[in-house]
Chain A
Amino acid sequence: MKRNSALNRFFMFLVFLFLYAPILLLIVFSFNAGDSSIVWKGFSLHWYEKLFSNRIILQSLYTTLLVSFLATIIATLAGTFAAIGFYAMRRRYRNVLNTVNNIPMMNADIVTGVAMCLLFVAFFNYWNDFATWFNASQSFVSLPHLTMGFGTLLIAHITFNIPYVILSVSPKLRQMDKNLVDAAMDLGCTWMQAFWKVIMPEIKPGIVSGALTAFTMSVDDFIISYFTAGTSSSTLAMTIYGMTKKRVSPEVNAISTLLFLTVLTLLVIVNVREARAEELRRRSASLPAYGAEYHAPSKSVILLKRVAGGALACFVVFGMIALRQGAKTERVVNVCSWGEYIDESLIDQFEAETGITVNYQTADSNETLYSQLKTGGADFDVVVPSDYMIARLIAEDMLSEIDYSNVPNYDLIDERFKGLSYDPENKYTVPYTWGTVGIIYNTTMVDEPITSWSAMFDEKYAGEVVMIRNSRDALAAALLYLGYDINTTDVDQIQEAYRLIADAKAKGVYQGFYMDEIFQKMEGGNAAITMYYAGDYLSMLENNEDLAFVVPEEGSNWFVDAMCILKTSRNKTEAEEWINFIASTQSNLANMDYIWYASPNTEALEGYPDYYQEAYEEELDPSLYEIMAAPPETLERCTLYENLPPEILTLYNELWTKLGI
């Protein structure tokens, strides 16, 4: 065959450049001293250091590897036997079964995920009802209550892996000489012996390649896991997705780099060794006696063995690291919060002090949390929703009352954060943080200081404005600008607010609708104006000094995120211990310093400037402190969200979907 011209080679080079450019960028930014994925602040290895103490990432890596490994083994066994069974069947049955077998591969991942999610939820509902009835009717056997978790995740992975195994084993079976097995059995082999001695060697390449594909698919899968893992287990992909609410922590870049480089190194080593071995063989092949016997394995088999070996070694290495996380104690508490919303050293500290294992998960928004709770996959004890969502959860009888005698630190919470509209009688909540929503803008990209919500709808800044991707906040901005109440239930006012946003969108004011990406947008100077939360503004400021924050003159929303215990919780005592620990002054100071959101703990709130001075040996800029903890005169302009009646919530959803179209 003709060799390729330089032009062809150049084309290949471009394709590889396309495939690898983003990966190189990721690797480079895993060495960034700052925490942005767009602003370079110098070389540092500290994300790698931090990685090994980040239990959320390590735990999810462990889950990913464990589920992929188990699913691969089970799917390979089941798939191989199924393929042999299919092969032995009559053509008619085989065709039907093959068609069913192809369904998970032909179907969109999201349909597979959603379908399995519906099945699990329906089954668990029946089962749990039955278990409740059964446990109540007798006292000998106690049936467990089931929720989605590692088990369902594993089932889903096995289900989508088996077709790949069958697909790679079947052709090998078809290529096999059918008479071989008969011959072996005529010569006295049992079927089992014939299987091991005759069939196995023939189909082994197919099994290896099937297993490898299955493992890779499992590791790479996000969508199906997302719908079937429930909330108690989280794969690496799900953790990353959760993080995109705020920002992908560079620790994730670090772990991906490690994973990637491990696979790469293994591949290189194996390749070099194989190449040497081949060279040796080629030389010895010139000796006729040896060469005649030598059976060259096909290229793809060698390749597959290499990758499989790499994958396996990789699993072992990372599994060992992550296994440390596997040790479980009797007492657990399942916490669900937002991404990057806690100083993680607090978790370790709590575990060391109490011996309770904290299973810390994140959700990406109040609405997502609500859907997760409703879908029935949630297995949480403590959640940290915002005010209006708390009201909704209370209204739907989903929260359990807190026994405040077990939470003495509740007394440290400032009186102004008690008895608020979402929990007027203080029965369900212990506040976690509070803050305001405002406009963040880049002072170098606007001609005058911004003071009004009008900036969010102004054609002057067309293409430079980023709208928040959250129906409640976006419509609130429009309502405020129009001079209406953010909790209005007047359909006309809401419609008017919607039209304001829709018009602005049609005129090209918005660069896009974002949540998490706002960090990158603002830090990198890619957008001039946006609306977001005060605490996050302070995080952005660390990476871009040109940013300013304002609570507009028309007023704004202020919010409280509070810890609540779910009605379904089975670890109430532990949950209360956790809440008490987090409500302490020391925890609040640590959190404030880490996430820049204001604390509701009086001592912590007032003591933070001193804490800052001690920790960083410089004074905390009072104007920054005022942004973090808005003074009374600012708060006067701000209103809490209230839970809206169901028909208004439906309207919000409909309008929001329409805006997306």
Chain B
Amino acid sequence: MRNKQAPLAIPYVIWMALFVVAPIIMVVIYAFSSADGGFTLANFSSIGDYAVIFTRSFKLAFIATVVCLLIGYPVSYVMSREGEKFQRIAMVLIMLPMWMNFLLRTYSWISILENNGLLNQFFRAAGIIDLYNSIMGTDIEYFRMIGTSGAVVLGMVYNYLPFMILPIYSVIIKLDKSLIEAARDLGANSYNVFRRVILPLSLPGVLSGITMVFVPSVSTFAISKMLGGGTQMMLGDLIEQQFLGGAYNPQLGAAISLVMMIIVVVCMVVMNRFGEGEEQAVML
């Protein structure tokens, strides 16, 4: 059957040329154009002014990815050791939140993290704030959570955690059980089984999880706007502002997108090298 069926892919190849490759070429063209259409490098030279935003975006996305990994890996691991029924329900529960719009869920965090929000009310009622005041000798009425970079990281972790859990879980669950048994038979204790067998074999899932969390985190714009209180501007906000927001300048927006895209691709290539070109785990 080889080769005969290859033409089946032709429609999609054309589609990709039109709607995947061509748009990226458009971004490149715009990035090197001035407002009146001439060639210019000015868009790139003004990117320097936004270095702070680049650093902040990559820093916060990095922290969010690490946190997701620290939570997501144990969850996947613990889940894979549960009974079948539990696993099934847990998987559904992890997917289910995606059916509620992420903007709404993020909006909901605002009322939890507010100065007078649920968490602070809870801390007050539980006497934690008084305790903190008496220990630290301060006089605060609430913990400031909203409008900080911590809140933005929390928003990212909240929204993208399932993207870390799913690929890792799907790799762990498919691990050849006989390998683990073999390791045990050869005298490995639980720690060594995990470190020498399970962890290396689940690396493809980890890598694909990292990609799936890092990329959307670094480019988010709604989360930073809602939870960061406009003081934690990220790359996504900056780009959005140039296209549909307050500062109409699509050329600059295209240049920033291009630079961000290149940095992300370089990060991913380096990371996948580190993973020895293991095949990406399929999600779900």
Q: Report the stretch among A7-15, A415-423, A593-601 that lies at the interface.
A: A7-15
Q: How far is the CB of B116 from chain A (nearest CB, A)?
A: 5
Q: Is the CB of B26 within 8 A of A1?
A: no
Q: Is the CB of B283 within 8 A of A12?
A: no
Q: Which residues of B contact A100 (CB under 8 A)?
A: 16, 20-21
Q: Which residues of B contact A109 (CB under 8 A)?
A: 216, 219
- The answer to whether A286 has its CB under 8 Å from any CB of chain B is no
Q: How far is the CB of A3 from chain B (nearest CB, A)?
A: 7
Chain A contacts with B in 146-179, Cβ cutoff 8 A: 155-156, 158-159, 162, 164, 167-168, 171, 178
- The answer to whether A657 has its CB under 8 Å from any CB of chain B is yes
- The answer to whether B48 has its CB under 8 Å from any CB of chain A is no
Q: Is the CB of B243 within 8 A of A371?
A: yes
**Contacts A216-B98, A219-B99, A653-B247; is A108 near B260 (CB within 8 Å)?**
yes
- The answer to whether B158 has its CB under 8 Å from any CB of chain A is yes
Q: Is the CB of A512 within 8 A of B158?
A: no
Q: How far is the CB of A56 from chain B (nearest CB, A)?
A: 15
Chain B contacts with A in 86-116, Cβ cutoff 8 A: 87-112, 114-116
**Contacts A106-B215, A240-B104, A299-B84; is A526 near B115 (CB within 8 Å)?**
yes
Q: Which of A25, A271, A299, A505 contacts B111 (CB 8 A)?
A: A25
Chain B contacts with A in 148-175, Cβ cutoff 8 A: 158, 161-162
Q: Is the CB of B1 within 8 A of A88?
A: yes
Q: Which of A12, A87, A101, A656 contacts B16 (CB 8 A)?
A: A101
Chain A contacts with B in 338-385, Cβ cutoff 8 A: 365, 367-368, 370-372, 374-375
- The answer to whether A624 has its CB under 8 Å from any CB of chain B is no
- The answer to whether A117 has its CB under 8 Å from any CB of chain B is yes
Q: Which residues of B contact A104 (CB under 8 A)?
A: 20
Closest chain A residue to B268, Cβ basis: A106
Chain A at the B interface: SS class:
helix
Chain A contacts with B in 164-196, Cβ cutoff 8 A: 164, 167-168, 171, 178, 181-182, 185, 191, 194
Q: Which of B7, B95, B111, B240 contacts A37 (CB 8 A)?
A: B111
**Contacts A37-B107, A85-B12; is A115 near B101 (CB within 8 Å)?**
no
Closest chain B residue to A155, Cβ basis: B19
Q: Which residues of B contact A263 (CB under 8 A)?
A: 96, 99
Q: Which residues of B contact A18 (CB under 8 A)?
A: 158, 161
Q: How far is the CB of A171 from chain B (nearest CB, A)?
A: 6
Report the Cα distance A220→B104, complex, angstroms: 11
Q: Is the CB of A111 within 8 A of B219?
A: yes
- The answer to whether A248 has its CB under 8 Å from any CB of chain B is yes
Closest chain B residue to A171, Cβ basis: B282
Q: Is the CB of B27 within 8 A of A182?
A: no
Report the Cα distance A511→B268, complex, angstroms: 36
Q: How far is the CB of A312 from chain B (nearest CB, A)?
A: 13
Q: Report the stretch among A74-82, A432-440, A545-553 that lies at the interface.
A: A74-82
Q: Is the CB of B239 within 8 A of A213?
A: no
Closest chain A residue to B231, Cβ basis: A512
Q: Is the CB of A26 within 8 A of B105?
A: yes
Report the Cα distance A524→B142, complex, angstroms: 14
Taking each of B103, B104, B253, which has the highest tally of chain A beta carbons within 10 Å of its own beta carbon? B104
Taken residue by residue from 72 to 101, chain A's Cβ proximity to chain B (1 for < 8 Å, 0 otherwise) reads as 000000110110111111100000010011
Q: Is the CB of B3 within 8 A of A118?
A: no
- The answer to whether A577 has its CB under 8 Å from any CB of chain B is no
- The answer to whether A133 has its CB under 8 Å from any CB of chain B is no
- The answer to whether A107 has its CB under 8 Å from any CB of chain B is yes
Q: Is the CB of A25 within 8 A of B247?
A: no
- The answer to whether A19 has its CB under 8 Å from any CB of chain B is yes
Q: How far is the CB of B36 from chain A (nearest CB, A)?
A: 13
Q: Is the CB of A88 within 8 A of B6?
A: yes
Report the Cα distance A168→B170, complex, angstroms: 12
Taken residue by residue from 201 to 225, chain A's Cβ proximity to chain B (1 for < 8 Å, 0 otherwise) reads as 0000000010011001001101100
Closest chain A residue to B84, Cβ basis: A299
Q: Which residues of A contact B43 (CB under 8 A)?
A: none
Q: Which of A15, A89, A155, A248 contacts B9 (CB 8 A)?
A: A89
Q: Which of A116, A209, A510 contacts B19 (CB 8 A)?
A: A116
Q: Is the CB of B114 within 8 A of A524?
A: yes
Q: Which of B108, B190, B237 contacts A22 (CB 8 A)?
A: B108
Q: Is the CB of B243 within 8 A of A267?
A: no
Q: Is the CB of A82 within 8 A of B8?
A: yes
Chain B contacts with A in 215-238, Cβ cutoff 8 A: 215-216, 218-219, 221-222, 226, 228-231, 233, 236-238
Q: How far is the CB of A288 from chain B (nearest CB, A)?
A: 23
Q: Is the CB of A657 within 8 A of B238?
A: yes
Q: Which residues of A contact B19 (CB under 8 A)?
A: 116, 119, 155-156, 159
Q: Is the CB of B221 within 8 A of A110?
A: yes
Chain B contacts with A in 1-25, Cβ cutoff 8 A: 1-13, 15-16, 19-24
- The answer to whether A488 has its CB under 8 Å from any CB of chain B is no
Q: Which residues of B contact A512 (CB under 8 A)?
A: 146-147, 228-231
- The answer to whether A226 has its CB under 8 Å from any CB of chain B is yes
Q: Which of B90, B219, B226 contacts A108 (CB 8 A)?
A: B219
Q: Is the CB of A122 within 8 A of B26?
A: yes
Report the Cα distance A107→B264, complex, angstroms: 8
Chain B contacts with A in 255-284, Cβ cutoff 8 A: 257, 260-261, 264-265, 268, 282-284
Taken residue by residue from 496 to 516, chain A's Cβ proximity to chain B (1 for < 8 Å, 0 otherwise) reads as 000000000100001111100
- The answer to whether B79 has its CB under 8 Å from any CB of chain A is yes
Report the Cα distance A171→B283, complex, angstroms: 11
- The answer to whether B254 has its CB under 8 Å from any CB of chain A is yes
- The answer to whether B75 has its CB under 8 Å from any CB of chain A is yes
Q: Which residues of A contact B187 (CB under 8 A)?
A: none
Closest chain B residue to A525, Cβ basis: B116
**Contacts A101-B16, A512-B230, A513-B230; is A16 near B107 (CB within 8 Å)?**
no
Q: Is the CB of B237 within 8 A of A660?
A: yes
Report the Cα distance A20→B261, complex, angstroms: 33
Q: List 6 A-B contacts (CB under 8 A).
A: A11-B78, A110-B219, A114-B253, A227-B243, A237-B102, A660-B230
Interface residues, chain B, CB within 8 Å of chain A?
1-13, 15-16, 19-24, 26-27, 30, 49-50, 52-53, 71, 74-75, 78-79, 81-82, 84-85, 87-112, 114-118, 144, 146-147, 158, 161-162, 190, 211, 215-216, 218-219, 221-222, 226, 228-231, 233, 236-241, 243-250, 253-254, 257, 260-261, 264-265, 268, 282-284
Q: Contacts A88-B8, A510-B231, A661-B52 known; list 7 others, CB within 8 Å.
A: A82-B11, A88-B2, A90-B3, A114-B257, A259-B99, A375-B244, A511-B229
